[in-house]
Structure 1
Amino acid sequence: MRKTLALLALLLALPVAAQLQVTDDRGVTVSFARSPQRVVSLLPSLTESVCALGECRRLVGVDRFSNFPATVRDLPKVGGGIDPNIEAVVALRPEVVLIATSSRGAQRLESLGVKVLALEPHTSADARRVLERLGQLLEVPDAQRVWREIDAGVAAAAQSLPPSARNLRVYYEVSRGPYAAGPASFLGELLQRLGARNIIDPELGPFPQINPEFVVRADPDVIMAGDSEAQGLAQRPGWAGLRALRSGRVCLFSPDESDVLLRPGPRMPEAARLLARCLAHPSGMKRRG
């Protein structure tokens, strides 16, 4: 009996092992005694993923660009995702901060004892993996179901396209520079699933900066861009003669639409529908050039 009591006392004296461990995109394993209830998200796609998993209520703060769903707009804003306001983040007493791997804030937050999970999707596979990691962190058992619904929505958008809208050669400008969406990006993958052909070489990477003359030589059938990135397209040297501009096959997306298109996550089906509508009726989406 004494030996039993002594063994029990020894076991009780041992530190309690972490019940939850999640490995982030840096390869760092972060341990939690329980699933965190106070979460700060510093990347819009991560904010949207948390909410898609039904756990919006755990968010206590977000970056200034997180604006969907509408409920997150009233949360405290703690600066940009790349360079967040560290003091504002710490003041929210988060149990974990979700942050992009490219952010400069992770090391500083960790030095202050704040747990950080660095996750940053660039491709569709990344978006799925991030959703699974967040499901693990938040102990949401049906994260796979959420992903299946996302994938099914993208597939439905692809199936909606008529044959005439397939095999079009597309140039998507994501920002001035110009920077393009290459085939290796999640946007490029969506375009491929919709049957479009990207004029960007896959070897250039997900979002390469390109020479405008490259677009002139490639002469795409359709040009896609955000309103703010597409001012004066026809005034660029040689662009006035592009077949896309001559035929009016230009899709200019509003800021809200660009938010949907540039965030790999739960709204990918909506992004696929926007791209599909552009491919089927590009001239109908031309706002100004």
Structure 2
Amino acid sequence: MLERLFALLLLALALPAAAVEIKDDLGQVTQIAAPPQRIVSLLPSLTETVCELGACARLVGVDRYSNFPAQVNAVPKLGGMEDTNVELIASLKPDVVLVAVSSRVAERLKTLGLKVIALEPRSYKDVQRVLNIIGQVLGVSDAQRVWRQIEAGVAAAASSVPASARGVRVYYEVASGIWAAGESSFMGETLTKLGAGNIIPASLGPFPKINPEFVVKANPALIMIGQRGSEGLTQRPGWDRIDAIKRGRICIFKPEEGDILARPGPRMAEAAQIMARCLREKASS
């Protein structure tokens, strides 16, 4: 009897694990037979998620903008959205390639026989879902521990915002041109959790392109903007009438802060802390 049980145990161990079916944000289903040991990530937020889930050492290539944690700078950089080096990716022989939904090379990579998973979080709900999906890909059983840490960190940041800063109307410019963070974006959701208002309604979409006159008419009490796009801000036609500019209530984020703020992933609690500090220092005065 014991010999038979032992034989059955050996047989079970010899059988391959059942493949995991991953449905990505394009509705495409990819079968993962075993946790990938060679991973390419072409979106910074996905790179950071892979690393936070303990698989940084499995990354064999990343996009040029992936720069955190520091160890990802030691792996090959594969270009950006416009100049992804497909040939180099193929030469790395990845088990899976993680790309943005908007990636222009996903189909080409698939024709080369590579497994491609397209994910692009834009909201808090998306971040939680993507954590689950990447956790499945990596074979991590409790990917939601990262989500719990994010929630706790955002709540702590919110508790640090004084009552005098709550309700302040904010304009957050994410890129020159001008593109703003709307209420339905992860940045907008963070502002809401911190008790701030947002002059860009959810009806305009997560990251709408805004007419400068819209901002003038909305008259925000506080402006958040990255260092790269802040040059000439106060000289924009008509913007001298905006309350935030008249009162010097402008938070200009350093490039490294901008990276944290712009990536919907594991560092969202840090992003909330940066925004909360801005509200404490500028909106409560």
TM-score norm. by structure 1 comes to 0.91
Q: Distance in 2 between matches of 1:192 and 1:182?
A: 11
Q: Distance in 1 between matches of 2:222 and 2:127?
A: 26
Check if 1:36 corresponds to 2:44: no
Q: Distance in 1 between matches of 2:283 and 2:135?
A: 41
Q: Deviations over 1:225-278 (max 9, x none)?
A: 001111111111111121111111100001110000000000000000000000
Q: Distance in 2 between matches of 1:164 and 1:172?
A: 19
Check if 1:77 corresponds to 2:77: yes
Pair 138,17 (structure 1): closer, same or farther in 2 beyond 3 Å: closer
Q: Which amino acid aligns with 2:55?
A: E
Q: Which amino acid aligns with 1:186?
A: F
Q: Distance in 2 between matches of 1:141 and 1:156?
A: 26
What is the Cα deviation at residue 32 of structure 1? 1.9
Q: Which residue pairs with 2:114 in the alignment?
A: 114
Q: Which residue pairs with 1:11 in the alignment?
A: none
**200-209 or 43-52: which moved more?**
200-209
What is the Cα deviation at residue 201 of structure 1? 2.0
The 8 Å contact of residues 83 and 104 in structure 1, kept in 2 or not, is answered as no
What's the secondary structure of 2:98's corresponding residue?
strand
What's the secondary structure of 2:57's corresponding residue?
helix
Q: Distance in 1 between matches of 2:74 and 2:125?
A: 31
The 8 Å contact of residues 128 and 147 in structure 2, kept in 1 or not, is answered as yes
Check if 1:89 corresponds to 2:89: yes
Q: Which residue pairs with 2:226 in the alignment?
A: 226
Q: Distance in 2 between matches of 1:178 and 1:139?
A: 41
Q: Deviations over 1:5-60 (max 9, x none)?
A: xxxxxxxxxxx785222111111110122111100000000000001111111101
Q: Which residue pairs with 1:244 in the alignment?
A: 244
Q: Distance in 2 between matches of 1:90 and 1:225?
A: 38
The 8 Å contact of residues 164 and 283 in structure 2, kept in 1 or not, is answered as no
The 8 Å contact of residues 44 and 263 in structure 2, kept in 1 or not, is answered as yes
Q: Distance in 2 between matches of 1:92 and 1:273?
A: 38
Q: Distance in 1 between matches of 2:283 and 2:151?
A: 28
The 8 Å contact of residues 169 and 198 in structure 1, kept in 2 or not, is answered as yes
Q: Distance in 1 between matches of 2:231 and 2:18?
A: 53
Q: Which residue pairs with 2:279 in the alignment?
A: 279
Q: Which residue pairs with 1:45 in the alignment?
A: 45
Deviating above 3 A after TM superposition, structure 1's stretches of 4 or more consecutive aligned residues are none
Q: Which residue pairs with 2:259 in the alignment?
A: 259
Q: Which amino acid aligns with 2:163?
A: P
Q: Distance in 2 between matches of 1:44 and 1:223?
A: 25
Q: Which amino acid aligns with 1:80?
A: G
What is the 5 A alignment of 1:1-289?
19-81=19-81, 83-282=83-282
TM-score norm. by structure 2 comes to 0.92
What's the secondary structure of 1:281's corresponding residue?
helix
Q: Which residue pairs with 1:5 in the alignment?
A: none
The 8 Å contact of residues 36 and 138 in structure 2, kept in 1 or not, is answered as yes
What's the secondary structure of 1:48's corresponding residue?
helix
What's the secondary structure of 1:206's corresponding residue?
coil
What's the secondary structure of 2:104's corresponding residue?
coil
Q: Which amino acid aligns with 2:255?
A: P
The 8 Å contact of residues 83 and 105 in structure 1, kept in 2 or not, is answered as no
What is the Cα deviation at residue 283 of structure 1? 8.0
Q: Which runs of 5+ in 2 are unaligned?
A: 1-15
Q: Distance in 1 between matches of 2:29 and 2:162?
A: 46
Pair 83,265 (structure 1): closer, same or farther in 2 beyond 3 Å: same
The 8 Å contact of residues 23 and 30 in structure 2, kept in 1 or not, is answered as yes
CA RMSD of aligned residues (A): 1.6
Q: Which amino acid aligns with 2:21?
A: Q
Q: Distance in 2 between matches of 1:280 and 1:17?
A: 52
Q: Distance in 2 between matches of 1:79 and 1:264?
A: 20
What is the Cα deviation at residue 282 of structure 1? 2.4
Pair 278,222 (structure 1): closer, same or farther in 2 beyond 3 Å: same
Q: How many residues align?
A: 270
